[in-house]
């Protein structure tokens, strides 16, 4: 049930698609870091060191990218053409 004054806020399709991509983005960053670390470990014959470094780097890249994608959604700016102000 909607509580408050005025009509409920509509969710834009752009924001919904942005929210749906977060899981795939994070999984891709993590996978690229793991596979890259594994390949470097096999090439240089260094046990799990580059694998762990790739895991950490992929995780950091995933969280950073998600932060950059989420900030416009949380600030209400999105991709609106009115200078970031929500429509009246």
**25 falls in which pLDDT band (50, 70, 90)?**
very high
Residue scoring higher pLDDT (4 or 49): 49
pLDDT tens by residue, 40-77: 999 999 989 999 999 999 999 999 998 888 887 778 76
Is 58 within 8 Å of 35 (Cβ atoms)?
Answer: no
pLDDT score of 29 more than 60: yes
pLDDT score of 83 more than 60: no
CA-angle at 71, arms to 85 and 37, nearest 5°: 155
Q: Is residue 29 domain-resident?
A: yes
Q: Please tell me the predicted confidence (pLDDT) of residue 50.
A: 96
Q: Which domain holds residue 47?
A: 18-71
Q: Is residue 31 domain-resident?
A: yes
The structural domain count of the chain equals 1
Burial class (CB in 10 A: 0-12, 13-18, 19+), 83: exposed
Is 50 within 8 Å of 56 (Cβ atoms)?
Answer: no
């Amino acid at each position: 049930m909607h509580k408050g004054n005025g009509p409920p806020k509509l969710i834009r399709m752009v924001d919904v698609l942005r929210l749906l991509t977060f899981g795939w983005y994070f999984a891709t960053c993590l996978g690229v870091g793991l596979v890259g670390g594994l390949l470097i470990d096999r090439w240089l014959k260094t046990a799990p060191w580059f694998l762990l470094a790739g895991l950490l780097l992929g995780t950091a890249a995933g969280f950073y990218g998600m932060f950059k994608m989420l900030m416009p959604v949380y600030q209400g700016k999105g991709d609106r053409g009115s200078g970031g102000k929500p429509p009246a």
